[in-house]
Amino acid sequence: MLATPGPQPIGKDWQHEVKWDGMRVLADVSADGLRLLSRTGRDVTVSFPELDSVLAGVKDALIDGEIIALREGVPSFAALADRMHIADERRARELARTQPVTVMAFDLLRLYGVDLIQRPLVERRTSLDRLSLPEPTWRRSPIYDDGPALLAATLDQGLEGVVAKRRRSTYQPGRRSPDWVKTAHRLHQVCLVGGWRPETGAPEQIGGLLLGMPDGSGGLSFAGRVGSGISRTAGQDLKRLLGPLRLAGPPFSTEVPPLDATGATWCEPAVVVEVRHLGWTACDRLRQPVFRGVRTDLEPGEVRRES
């Protein structure tokens, strides 16, 4: 179940939570152990070995939550991005010690074999609150009644925003529902990579990405170029992902300005990245985008323009 962007609803029918800057997962706990599934259904358990401790207190459950990584006490998607794509068990264990993550659990969809998705949110949350989860690796996302106060507090603390949830709502798997409404302080957008430019003075490094958005007709419209925020490590990871996807020409259905196209290597738009930005220009280009990370938890077909 996904949230719909919009202004924050208020009233007694709604409860409010922090909008965590992380990776959405379903934690499936059974007799076979713990499986962590991304939004695309990909098994990411090996990437987060420190989360196995949930088995100490829970024997059968399906928990919806968000994996976050803290940097200076604030959730950081950039810090989490270093861990999302790790498939090597040894490397994952090393990062679990040096860059640990936490699950912020906010919903419970199954408990001891009983399907809870048709139960109202207040009942599901009550059941979640009764579970014995091992802190600090697992925590429950706090609930607040005063939405405007939480929105102001998250802005002051540099957090992403707030998600309001209708208390009586059922859980609607895979649907972007008006029963959950997200209100963000900063503008974020996921995009597809259609090409890259080398770093000035270091042609072996990626210095900029050429971004695209689905144009509604099966094509890809050019959405701008991002270079800010791409660290050397991120550039190396991007080159590994994009290298096998090279194309002879641009995949865009709209013109790429010569300033952006010069020296570009084109690629199949199969890698999803997230940027922070200051809005859209009249030409449908992202204004001052900043790279945040690769979204290995999303499929290209999920990319859509955020309101």
Transcribe 180-243 into DSSP letters. Answer: EEEEESSEEEEEEEEEEEEETTEEEEEEEEEEEEE-SSSSEEEEEEE-TT--HHHHHHHHHHHG
Q: Is 59 a catalytic residue?
A: no
Structure token digits, residue 34: 């713990």
Strand partners, 37: 26, 43
CA 97, 65, 149, 184 torsion-angle sign: positive
What is the Cα–Cα distance from 106 to 132, expressed in whole angstroms?
A: 14
- 219-247-263 Cα angle (round to 5): 105
Transcribe 130-167 into DSSP letters. Answer: HS---TTTEEEPP-BS-HHHHHHHHHHTT--EEEEEET
Tracing tokens 């059922």 back to the chain, one arrives at 170
Query: Which of 27, 75, 32, 31 minimizes the C-alpha distance to 54?
Result: 27
- 22-23-28 Cα angle (round to 5): 135
Q: 12, 19, 59, 182: which one is catalytic?
A: 19
What is the Cα–Cα distance from 82 to 133, expressed in whole angstroms?
A: 25
Query: Which of 268, 225, 273 minimizes the C-alpha distance to 249?
Result: 268
What is the Cα–Cα distance from 225 to 26, expressed in whole angstroms?
A: 33
Query: Which of 89, 80, 96 minimizes the C-alpha distance to 137?
Result: 96
User: What one-letter code names the amino acid at 285?
Assistant: R
The residues annotated with a catalytic role in the active site are 19
